[in-house]
Structures are given as structure tokens and as C-alpha cells.
Structure 1
């Protein structure tokens, strides 16, 4: 194998990571964090069949769109590729015989 292959895979992992962050940031509408805690009724939904994932942390609600989930998946995939490439490069370096 050439020395360029691990670096090309590392660049691919970095590109996946950056793309995932960009997709996730682009999917967030302005003011995506909704502060809850009110007993007022919620406005009616626009569609009858709407699916969403909602995380709640101490009266702060964070809605996740499909773009957020795709971006998070790409970022995790990129991080896994970078971790695997780093282990591969470190393993190849330590497997070399000590010159003597």
C-alpha cells in the first residue's frame, strides 16, 4: 500500500465530518431552541401526520429535523473514519521493525 492511501482516507473522513456539521447547521431554522414551561395550549399542527423527535432538557425543548439527523449521521461516520484511520496509521508505524 502507498503512503498516500491513509491520508486520502483521513481527508475523506474529515470531509464527511465537515459536511455533516454543515448539513446539520443548514437544517436548523433560526430560533430552533424553544423554551417551554408554559401551560398555554400548543398551536395546531399544519399536517395531520407529522413525525418529529423532540429532546427536552429542563424546560428547554430542542426539535430535531430530518436534516439534523442526516447531518449528525454524516458527522459520526466521519469521526469513525478518522478514528479508524488514526488507529491504522499508528498500528502500521508501531509494527515496523526497530532498525539496528
Structure 2
């Protein structure tokens, strides 16, 4: 049974990792319109002594506007990576204790 635990953890980790990547990819490729929180209104007349403009550009193809599905996918990937680390730690710890 002790030899099966790292293999089971690694299998579970691979499942979480694949599921996270799939969830993230599906969320990123969904055809839903992206809401960036802007509303249309007429601009006010500038009545202050100075003017400041903030220009945001979303032209980067790698930019991601995070949704709940993106966060869920990222959490699944992180969980899978942590399980891989646990499986590796278990295996290394078992090997080092057998040599002493």
C-alpha cells in the first residue's frame, strides 16, 4: 500500500492539472461578450484646473480578463501542482529513510 500512495497522488495530480487546463481553456475560448465594467455616458465639461487621461489598451493577445471560470481553472492547476509536489516529497522521503 505504501508504494501505491505516491502513484495515486501523481495520478490525482495529473487529473487536477488536466482539468484545470481544460476549464481555463474553455473559459478563455467562450464566445460570451467580455464585460469590462464600462458604461456609456456623455462626458462632463472639464471644470477643473488640470486634466488627466487614463488610456487602457487590451490589444495584447495574451491578456486575460479573469472570470470565475478562469479562477477555478487556475486553482485546479495549482492544486495539481501541489499534489505533484506532495507525491515527489513522499517518494523522496521514502527513499531517503530506506537508505539510513
Q: How many pairs are equivalent?
A: 80
Write out per-residue CA displacement over residues 40-88 of structure 1, whole angstroms, 9 at most, x where no aligned residue. Answer: xx8648xxxxxxxxxx899645301111100000000100010111011
Q: Which runs of 5+ in 1 are unaligned?
A: 35-41, 46-55
RMSD: 3.1
Q: 2:83 aligns with which of 67, 81, 84?
A: 81
Moved over 3 A (4+): 42-45, 56-61
TM-score by length of 1: 0.65
TM-score by length of 2: 0.65
Q: Which runs of 5+ in 2 are unaligned?
A: 41-55
Report the alpha carbon displacement of residue 29 of structure 1 after superposing the two structures with TM. Answer: 3.0
Alignment of 1:41-52 (within 5 A): 44=39
* More RCO (CA 8 Å, sep 6+): 2
Tell me the distance in 2 between the aligned counterparts of 1:76 and 1:90: 21
Report the alpha carbon displacement of residue 9 of structure 1 after superposing the two structures with TM. Answer: 1.1
Q: Secondary structure at the match of 2:65?
A: strand
Matched residue, 2:18: 18
The structure richer in strand per residue is 1
Matched residue, 1:92: 94
